[in-house]
Amino acid sequence: MSAEEGISVWLRPERPPRDRRLSRERIVACAVEILDAEGHRGLSMRRVAAALEVTAGSLYWYVATKDELLELALDAVLAEAGPDPGAAGWREALGALARGRRAMLLRHPWVLSQLAAQPNMGPNALALTETGLALLASAGFAGADLDAALAAVNDHVTGAVMAETSWRAMAGRAGSERWRARMDDFVRGVAERHPLLGERMAAAGETDLDRECERRFAFGLDTLLDGLEKRRPV
């Protein structure tokens, strides 16, 4: 391991290009494509080099490790969750920021695991945080409450997308007749012990998944924004 390995990519200066075929931006864009198609387990320096038709060794001038590449890829897609320039007022703008973050996570589901594993210290991550803090500061929040308010919004987005991703994965399995038959038996057993839960589980089978996921996210976001409205200093 070199002296710089194990240190966040954002804590060392970027090296200048030395190969006309390569740049850090091109390497990161390729990594994002692989991550979108195959998830983080499909990503390797060798895999990226093959896609770019270069040697794996040539990548290390620009990116020292796979972890660094994941840091760079994470920050690259965070740029997609930028603010809505047309939003008026802190509440509308913060809601638009949350919806943009949700859309980004759904486009790039690998990001969910990386948010906990990689430092969020890149320029896009910092700009997003600054934007959220500025919106909440304009609403009157300050100090530790400012941090907590932004964390509440970000936690809602991440939690909602995790739940949606899980639901969609289960819905994909439901296409199997064998799965449906066993699931029906399971739900009937649940209903005998937990009638309200069994009722809601049975109703989920007839639900428009896209519409319901949108509705649930909006319900939670509006509830959260209502709470922030009531808690903000007068």
- pTM for this predicted structure: 0.87
Whole domain around residue 196: which residue ranges?
Answer: 85-231
- CATH assignment of the domain containing 65: 1.10.10.60
Decide if 3 is inside a domain: no
What is the C-alpha separation between 5 and 3, in angstroms, rounded? 6
Based on the structure, what is the number of domains in the chain? 2
Mean model confidence pLDDT for the chain: 89
97 and 61 in one domain?
A: no
Does some domain include residue 2? no
**Residue 95, in any domain of the structure:** yes
Distance CA 224, CA 176 (A): 37
Q: Is residue 173 domain-shared with residue 128, that is, in the same domain?
A: yes
Long-range contacts of 111-117 (CB under 8 A, 24+ apart): 111/74, 111/77, 112/158, 112/161, 112/162, 112/165, 113/40, 114/40, 114/70, 114/73, 114/74, 115/74, 115/158, 117/70
Of 203 and 136, the one with more pLDDT: 136
In a domain, 102, yes or no: yes
**Percentage of residues in the chain having pLDDT higher than 70:** 94
**Model pLDDT for residues 160-213, shown as the tens digit of each residue:** 999 999 888 877 776 666 767 777 788 888 888 998 888 887 877 677 889 999
- Last residue within a domain, chosen from 63, 78, 93: 78
Final residue in a domain of this structure, among 53, 78, 103: 78
As a whole number of angstroms, the distance between CA 110 and CA 105 comes to: 8
Distance CA 165, CA 169 (A): 6
The answer to whether position 185 is within a domain reads yes
Name 94's Cβ contacts closer than 8 Å, sequence gap at least 6.
132, 135, 136, 153, 225
